[in-house]
């Protein structure tokens, strides 16, 4: 029955986009993810974009599988899985004819989404204007308005400062000190340092080429870009959460992503009602 429902295309499959996809799928929408060829997600264990590299990825019990052509999306959906296509230009629109396109790339700017792509278009965060290039915008800034649906105007402009968690903002995020391949390293006991590891401020947690990457604070390594990724100097490569209990949640959808996903569901249902478009 689900296969008779129209497609919802989600551009992007990083951790925030994955939260949106999980919420849409749980609500019964038929979803297909579109990704770039070299995704650089640091919250890899909670991001469907890992399917680009591994063929498939699983988050909270949902499996996302990479496909090569949009025509393959149907068979994957019939198996209860999320199809993912490498399609930066959103060319799959011509084949899948979606009822809605959700831009969840989180690029802080519009990378080509416009209202001609589908009857309903939704953009997440800064870079979109509801009523102009999209029908609705969902707020992505942490705080009182997180997840709010905007039907006229734009989201809060990008401040360039990560949200406050445990009293830390910019210090939570680590940017590459150099350009080169990402190299994983062991800790003092010889155990591999990866997502979920408890690290100490000043500890070497990885290398980029010959350059060491130091932990900026003590906490849980919540995100770490995949090993071997060719990073450029200044690229965001890691994220530390100062709350040690968060080690248990590194492979699940975050509170922020779940809230944004709720906003997308609200926007879809509201706009579908306004436009008389059946989605479910």
Instruction: Give the whole-number percent of the chain exceeding pLDDT 70.
Output: 99
Mean pLDDT of 31-54: 97
Mean pLDDT of 109-126: 97
Residue 261 scores a pLDDT above 80? yes
Tell me, what's the pLDDT at 2?
A: 47
Mean pLDDT of 214-233: 97
Q: What is the largest CA-CA distance in the chain?
A: 61
Mean pLDDT of 119-147: 97
pLDDT tens digits for range 150-175: 999 999 998 777 777 777 677 899 99
Domains and their CATH numbers in the chain: 7-159+255-275 (3.40.50), 170-242 (2.40.50.100)
Question: Among 73, 126, 120, 74, which Cα is nearest to 101's?
Answer: 120
247: exposed, middle or buried (C-beta count within 10 Å: 0-12, 13-18, 19+)? middle
Residues 6+ apart with CB under 8 A from 17: 10, 11, 33, 47, 48, 49, 104, 105, 106, 124
Q: Cβ–Cβ contacts within 10 Å for residue 235, how many?
A: 17
Give pTM, 2 decimals: 0.94
Mean pLDDT of 124-132: 97
Name the pairing type of β-strands 30-35 and 56-59.
unpaired
Which tokens go with 188? 């003092």
Q: Please tell me whether residue 86 adopts helix, strand or coil conformation.
A: strand
pLDDT band at 4 (very low <50, low <70, confident <90, very high): confident
Mean pLDDT of 211-216: 97
pLDDT tens digits for range 80-95: 999 999 999 999 999 9
Question: Among 133, 139, 118, 127, which Cα is nearest to 32's?
Answer: 118
């Amino acid at each position: 029955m689900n296969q008779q429902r129209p497609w919802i295309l989600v551009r992007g499959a990083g951790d925030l986009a994955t939260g949106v996809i999980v919420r849409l799928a749980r609500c019964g929408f038929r979803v297909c993810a579109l990704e770039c060829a070299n995704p650089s997600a640091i919250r890899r264990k909670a991001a469907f974009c890992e399917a680009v590299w591994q063929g498939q990825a699983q988050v909270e019990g949902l499996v996302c599988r990479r496909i090569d052509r949009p025509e393959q999306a149907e068979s994957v959906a019939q198996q209860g899985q999320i199809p993912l296509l490498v399609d930066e230009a959103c060319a799959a629109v011509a084949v899948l004819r979606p009822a809605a396109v959700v831009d969840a790339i989180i690029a802080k700017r519009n990378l080509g989404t416009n209202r001609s792509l589908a009857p309903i278009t939704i953009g997440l965060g800064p870079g979109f204007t509801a009523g102009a290039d999209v029908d609705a915008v969902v707020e992505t800034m942490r705080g009182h308005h997180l997840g709010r649906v905007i039907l006229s105007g734009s989201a809060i402009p990008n401040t360039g400062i990560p949200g406050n968690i445990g009293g830390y903002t910019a210090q939570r995020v680590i940017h590459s000190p150099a350009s080169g391949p990402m190299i994983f390293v062991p800790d003092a006991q010889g155990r591999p340092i990866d997502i979920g590891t408890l690290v100490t401020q000043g500890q070497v947690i990885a290398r980029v080429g010959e350059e060491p990457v130091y932990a900026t604070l003590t906490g849980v390594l919540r995100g770490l870009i995949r090993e071997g990724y060719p990073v450029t100097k200044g690229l965001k490569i890691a994220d530390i959460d100062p709350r040690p209990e968060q080690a248990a949640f590194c492979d699940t959808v975050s509170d922020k992503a779940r809230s944004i996903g709720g906003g997308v569901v609200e926007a879809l249902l509201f706009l579908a009602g306004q436009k008389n478009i059946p989605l479910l």
